[in-house]
């Protein structure tokens, strides 16, 4: 599903930027543009103190998966989505932020995982201490969202949607099921 092309119908305030993002809820996929301050790193936005109660989308496209039939796209010029409904979030590829960690940091590992978020399957990696397990990592995680890296996103029930590849995504720890994976 592509975002509308051409001129946008909204104005960006000074010191703001527009970023196309993809948001997953238990039964929807939302693609749209969000406005943030230039200094905000959009890929980690939902882990900051500046996260809003509602995410305000411009030019939103929605696929709803709760009808039992093939999802049909809906378009909205403006959409306000409660942030509490977000189970996963990332910048729309091919755009991306630089990764949020130092790859040379000692005593860290990338644990291969599967995260199930509603009808979506996220296959990627969680960065954690070499001395911990996925179970312990999740038990002590204090943030609402955990970072996944080198992620493939699929929807097994609607395979014609294809696979989305992103270098970085956030998933809500209390609404996602996690499983270790081989490889």
pLDDT of residue 2: 40
- For domain 108-180, the CATH class is mainly beta
**Residue 155 structure tokens:** 């929807």
Return the domain boundaries, the chain: 16-91, 108-180
For 55-66, the pLDDT digits (tens) are: 999 999 999 887
How far CA 145 is from CA of 68, 99, 174, in Å, comes to: 29, 16, 8
List Cβ neighbours of 172 (8 Å cut-off, separation of 6 or more).
86, 87, 88, 117, 144, 145
Q: What percent of the chain has pLDDT over 90?
A: 69
pLDDT of residue 50: 86
Give the mean pLDDT of the chain.
Answer: 90
For 98-141, the pLDDT digits (tens) are: 888 898 899 999 999 999 998 999 999 999 999 999 999 999 98
pLDDT of residue 9: 60
Highest mean pLDDT among 1-10, 36-45, 93-102, 172-181: 172-181
How far CA 82 is from CA of 39, 53, 87, 126, 129, in Å, comes to: 23, 6, 11, 26, 33
Q: Which of 3.30.1330.60, 3.30.930.10, 3.20.20.80, 2.30.30.100 would CATH assign to domain 16-91?
A: 2.30.30.100
Distance CA 113, CA 26 (A): 19
For 16-55, the pLDDT digits (tens) are: 999 999 999 999 999 999 999 998 899 999 998 889 999 9
Look at strands 88-91 and 16-24 and give their pairing.
antiparallel
Residue 90 pLDDT exceeds 70: yes
Q: In the chain, what is the straight-line distance between the N-terminal and C-terminal CA atoms, in Å?
A: 30
pLDDT of residue 69: 65
pTM: 0.90
Residue 136 near residue 110, CB atoms below 8 Å: no
């Amino acid at each position: 599903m592509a975002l509308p092309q051409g001129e946008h119908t909204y104005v960006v305030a000074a010191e703001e930027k527009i970023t196309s993002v993809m948001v997953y809820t238990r039964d929807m996929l939302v693609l749209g543009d969000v406005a943030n301050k230039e200094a905000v790193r959009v890929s980690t936005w939902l882990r900051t103190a500046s996260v809003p109660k509602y995410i305000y989308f411009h030019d939103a496209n929605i696929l709803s998966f709760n009808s039992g039939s093939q999802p049909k796209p809906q378009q909205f010029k403006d959409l306000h989505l409660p942030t509490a409904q977000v189970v996963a979030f990332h910048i729309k590829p091919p755009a991306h932020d630089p990764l949020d960690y130092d790859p040379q940091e000692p005593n860290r590992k990338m644990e291969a995982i599967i995260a199930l978020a509603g009808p979506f399957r996220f296959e990627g990696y969680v960065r954690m201490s070499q001395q911990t397990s996925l179970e312990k990592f999740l038990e002590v995680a204090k943030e609402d969202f955990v970072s996944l890296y080198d992620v493939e996103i699929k929807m097994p029930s609607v395979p014609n949607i294809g696979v989305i590849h992103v270098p970085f995504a956030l998933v809500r720890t209390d609404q996602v099921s996690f499983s270790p994976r081989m490889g």
